[in-house]
Structure formats: C-alpha cells, structure tokens
Amino acid sequence: MSDTTPPKRRKPSLPTPTPRPGAQLWVMVGLLVLFLGMMAWSGHNSAIKINQQRFEQMLAAGDVKLVTVVNKQEVDVTLKPSAEQKPQYRNEILSQRGPLTSGRDPQYFFPVLDSKLFQEQLDKLQASTPSADRVPLEVTDRQSPLDFLLSPYVLMLGSIVLFVVLMRRMSGASGPGGQIFNIGKSRAALFEGGDKVKITFKDVAGLEEAKEEVQEIVEFLKNPSKFTILGGKIPKGALLVGPPGTGKTLLAKAVAGEADVPFFSLSGSDFVEMFVGVGAARVRDLFKQAKAKAPCIIFIDEIDAVGRSRSKGAMPGGNDERENTLNSLLVEMDGFGTDSGVIILAATNRPDTLDSALLRPGRFDRQISIDKPDIVG
C-alpha cells in the first residue's frame, strides 16, 4: 500500500485592491466640471456679431423674435424659428455659429453705447407696428464666468480651500510631497516590536575584543537598575572606529539585538539640510523620541558628516548650519542622565576629524576599535 499525499490546495488569489482616487484626481475632475460649466454658461458669446443697421433690416423684415439688452452694453437678437430657416440666416449660422437653436438662444448680437437711447430708437422703429406684433424687449444683467470667478465671495472661498489644501500637504496629511512643516522631524528609522533587530553576537564573526567592550552596554540596557542602585555609571556614548567594511554597523545592530531594545538608526548626513535650523531641530526631535522609547539605542553612522571639528574650515563671521547641528548634538548628549536608559553608538572611519568636544567624558567617552580581521578572527 503506497502512501499517497493529497495534492495541496492552492489558496485563491485575493483580488488586488483598487487604489483610491487621490486628491489630484478630484482636483482634475473639479477643474473639468468647472471648465464645462464655463463653456455652457458662456454659450451666448458664440452669437454672430453684427451692426445696428443690419438689426434694423431684420426688424423691418419681421424676422426678430426677441431683443435683449445685456449689461447695458450689448444687445442680443433672437430670430424666429421660421426666419432661422431662411437661406441668408441658415447658411451664416451653420458656418459661423454651429447648429440651429430654433429660437432658444440668440443668434446675433451688437454693442451699444447707450442702452436708453437704443430703447428709444427701438420704440420709434416700431411706432407704426400694432402692440400685439411688436418685438418684446428685455433688459438683464448677465454675469460672465470671469466676473463670477473674480467675485469677492468666490475669491475668498478659493483662498480658504487653497490654504486648507496646502496646510494638509505641508503637514503630510495628504501623502508624500511638500511636507514643509515636517522638515524638522527626525529621519531616524526605528526598529521595535515585530521589526526589532534579530541580529545577535552569534551573527558577528570575530571581533571578540569589541564584543567584550560592548557587553557592558548590553547588560545596562537589559537591567538599568542593576547599575543605578549600586551607583555605577555607564558610558553615555561609544564610538566605533575602524576602516570601512569591518562590521561597525553590524556590531551596533548586534548590541540592539542582544539587549532586545528599540533601535534608532540614521546617518550623519540626515541631519544636514539647506534650511537654517533644520539640523538642530532634527537632533532635538531624535532625542525626544529616544527618551520616550528608553531604554533604547541611537546609532549614528558616518558621524563625521556632522561632527567634524569646528576649528577646521570655518568661515569667520559665517553662520555654519553644520556647526549649529553639532552644538545641538553636544547639548543633548551632555544632558542625559545615567538613568535615562539611552545609549548612543556612532561609527566613523575618520576619528581624527571629529570635534574634541564629542570625545570628552560624558559624550563619546569610549572608543571601540574595530580593526580588519586577522588570522584569528
């Protein structure tokens, strides 16, 4: 009897969720609707322009159905449906205006300088015509689409809507892009919970001496009260020094994995920005987040990008944004107490370029040398 394993049932593939339309799509739809509305609203502008003399000829021939004075500046002429079928009108309307309207919309218009004078002239032209057969005259104020868009209420409403949209985009509430108000936020990647670092010392080959030096940091992160009760002090910061590719970043990850604490990771260049004060604001925001997650580790890779010595390459009288960022970093590191539970690890391959204030006791007071591997490991 042969064992037969039933074939595995394939899980039905779930339908791909349809992406929700973004704000840009709704803006485009709104602009399209507004454009179509303006086109429909400005339909009277497609009437054929004539002079007043030709209008008087139409009136004498009995072809006019309605006369409308618009905004005291323009006279719209609507023909009778029967007159619209006459060849002289039909051909002209079809070639210059479009489809026939059967008397619903004005087909012609002409400008006037004085609307009251025109009304008097129209009365004189129809003086001999019976009252029942006279062409009716209407006076109206028609607002153009441009006048409507430039009205104070529309401008005020549009300004409010534009302000709200810009505020949402700047604050990051409507997706990526233009997040001006978040420019001072820290760019550090946080690993905690299910995203915690899984790397331990077992994953780091060699570096036995470096592991022994950071073991004290791991013990402090696991049980901070063990040190504080006895009055012991833990280094506030450790600087990993070594050539590129020797495992400085990997060792920092292993420290976080062994201690099983949140891990903030970022590069020194993440503090640098073209706007004045942004780097210092990001430093303050980073340490604020770290205090909330304590005990934790802050790892700053390539710290020489922001921690270069202030005595090298400084411009007299100039405002160096990198120097302001470094000052903020020095203040934040020196302000930590031994019981804060925050350890700062940094890596660099150019320790000689770092500012001396970073290397004094109370900041990066411990340097861990990570050399190239030898025959032992």
Tens digit of pLDDT for each residue in 287-335? 888 888 878 888 898 888 888 887 765 555 445 777 888 888 888 887 5
Same domain for 97 and 171, yes or no, is: no
- Are 286 and 202 in the same domain? yes
Same domain, 206 and 106: no
Q: Which residue, 368, 357, 352, is CA-closest to 252? A: 368
Q: Which of 52-61, 256-265, 344-353 is predicted most confidently?
A: 52-61
Do 127 and 242 lie in a common domain?
Answer: no
- At 4 the pLDDT is 53
Report whether pLDDT(176) > 60: no
First to last CA, the chain: 55
110 and 77 Cβ atoms separated by less than 8 Å: yes
Task: Please report whether residue 4 resides in a domain.
Answer: no
Residue 90 has pLDDT above 80, yes or no: yes
Query: Is the C-alpha dihedral spanning 173, 175, 181, 185 positive or negative?
Result: positive
- The average pLDDT across 267-272 equals 81
Do 264 and 204 share a structural domain?
A: yes
Residue 373 Cα distances to 204, 239, 242, 280, 376, angstroms: 12, 19, 11, 37, 8
Rg (CA), the chain: 40
Whole-model pTM: value is 0.52
Residue with the two structure tokens 């006019």: 64
Report yes or no on 267 lying in a domain. yes
Domain count, the chain: 3
Question: Is 296 within a domain?
Answer: yes
Residue 67 forms part of a structural domain: yes
Q: Are residues 148 and 138 in the same domain?
A: no
Same domain, yes or no: 326 and 195: yes
Task: Check whether residue 92 and residue 177 sit in a common domain.
Answer: no
Residue 213 placed within a domain: yes
Q: pLDDT (tens digit, 9 = 90+) per residue, 181-229?
A: 555 567 677 877 666 677 888 878 777 788 888 888 888 777 777 777 7
Q: What is the strand order of the sheet 64-70 is part of?
A: 48-49, 108-111, 74-79, 64-70, 137-140
In order of 122, 189, 196, 312, 370, the CA distances from 192 in angstroms are 86, 10, 4, 38, 27
- Print the domain residue range for 290: 189-311+320-369
What percent of the chain has pLDDT above 70? 70
